[in-house]
Amino acid sequence: MSDHKVEGWVAIARSKAVRTKPLRVLAGGRAFVLFRADGRLHCLADICPHRSAPLSSGRVVSGAIECPYHGWQFDGAGLCKAMPGLTGAMPRTLVPSYAVCEKDGLVFFSAQVANDDPYTTVLAAGDTVSMMVESRVTSSLAEVAENILDATHTHFTHKGILRGLSAKRYKVTVTVTGGDGWVEARYVGEPKQEGLVSRLLEGERSISIGRFRYPGIAELEFWGAKSINLATTFHLRQETADTVHGFGILSGPRQRNLGYLKALLFKPFFRIALRQDQHILHAAEKNRRLFGERRQMFGPLDIMRPHIDAILARQRPEVAEKPAVLVMEL
Ligand code: FES
Ligand SMILES: [Fe+2]
């Protein structure tokens, strides 16, 4: 599925990455240009209708973006305002434009009508501390979302970082529920884990939740006795057929200023974990291509993937009608 067919908001840039210079971003195998003019943020298809030059290589002049090839200028709505050298009437010329908005440090765009506010993170409101990381991986969106929400890979891919070094597992009850455009797995019975990150951050853990939301949000919540200790929210998008890009927001309660300290300490580990996932996803994708293999086996513990696939195909996940409950050792 490509992102220009996606309904709703997709995170495509960090707000601070869009200054006066136009910024090219990829989504769904297409290129878009973001630029600020007259104090507003705009998003156009990054292709000049004249001879196809990327508008993002041009500059912003008098409230419009100027093509670097022959200097045609387009306003924020994509309407051509100037064709240098032309003395007669200007033909009506348009570049496709897209809705954009900014929230919590991210720029969102929508190829279709989007009336609601974009979702950023479960901890967006309230007294929280958050940090953002970016990551790019050779894979598909469903594969990356599954990886983020998959509790069974952490013992191996992230041994010692997210999990303890011991092979000890605990019986955990998992309940999978869902609705239109979302699915979540709730894990109860997991004791505090022994990995470095868990030790550092989490304190008492009661439940944890992994959730996928259309069109590409993968979110983990780690709960203490009464509230969320830590949440990681990934905004994923398929940039091209080959790559997936993600903005990861990690957030936690401010706890006076302890929250900042924890977030600072957590960031390097978060990056290591991301690199480990990047590495294994890349190796798996390369291997699929080598073998010409697209089929995959769904194991009995792959509780999220069928629902992620259904949601991406705009179907209601099966668990929306009937929650699934199972016990596994994690
Ligand atoms: S290609 Fe853009 S003005 Fe000619
Ligand atoms: Fe992982």
pLDDT in tens, 222-272: 888 788 888 999 999 999 999 999 999 988 888 777 777 777 777 888 889
Give the rounded percent of residues in the chain with a pLDDT score beyond 70. 92
| Gyration radius from the chain CA atoms | 22
Judged by its nearest atom, the ligand closest to the C-alpha of residue 144 is 2
Q: How far is the CA of 28 from the centre of ligand 2 (A)?
A: 24
82: Cβ below 6 Å to ligand 1?
Answer: no
- Residue 1: what pLDDT? 42
In a domain, residue 122? The reply is no
The total number of structural domains that make up the chain: 2
Per-residue pLDDT band for 325 (boundaries 50, 70, 90) equals very high
In this structure, the answer to whether residues 55 and 187 fall within a common structural domain is no
275: Cβ below 6 Å to ligand 1?
Answer: no
51: Cβ below 6 Å to ligand 1?
Answer: yes
In this structure, the answer to whether residues 93 and 229 fall within a common structural domain is no
Q: Which of 140, 160, 176 is nearest to 319 (CA)?
A: 176
Q: Is the pLDDT of residue 2 over 60?
A: no
Q: From the alpha carbon of 72, which atom of ligand 1 is closest?
A: 3
Full DSSP string of 80-100: EEE-TT--SPPPP-B--EEEE
Domain of 202, CATH number, reads 3.90.380.10
Distance of CA 99 to the CA centre of its chain: 18
Q: Which of 130, 123, 126 is nearest to 228 (CA)?
A: 123
- Segments forming the whole domain that contains residue 289: 128-329
Q: Is the pLDDT of residue 312 over 80?
A: yes
Arithmetic mean of pLDDT, 172-198:
84
Q: What is the pLDDT of residues 11-44, one digit of tens each?
A: 999 999 998 899 999 999 999 999 999 899 999 9
- Residue 257: what pLDDT? 72
Q: Select from 110, 141, 158 the last residue of a domain.
A: 110
In this structure, the answer to whether residues 9 and 150 fall within a common structural domain is no
Distance separating alpha carbons of residues 80 and 57, to the nearest angstrom: 17
In a domain, residue 118? The reply is no
Residue 230, token pair as written in the block: 């830590």
Q: Is the pLDDT of residue 302 over 80?
A: yes
In a domain, residue 24? The reply is yes
In this structure, the answer to whether residues 194 and 231 fall within a common structural domain is yes
In a domain, residue 119? The reply is no
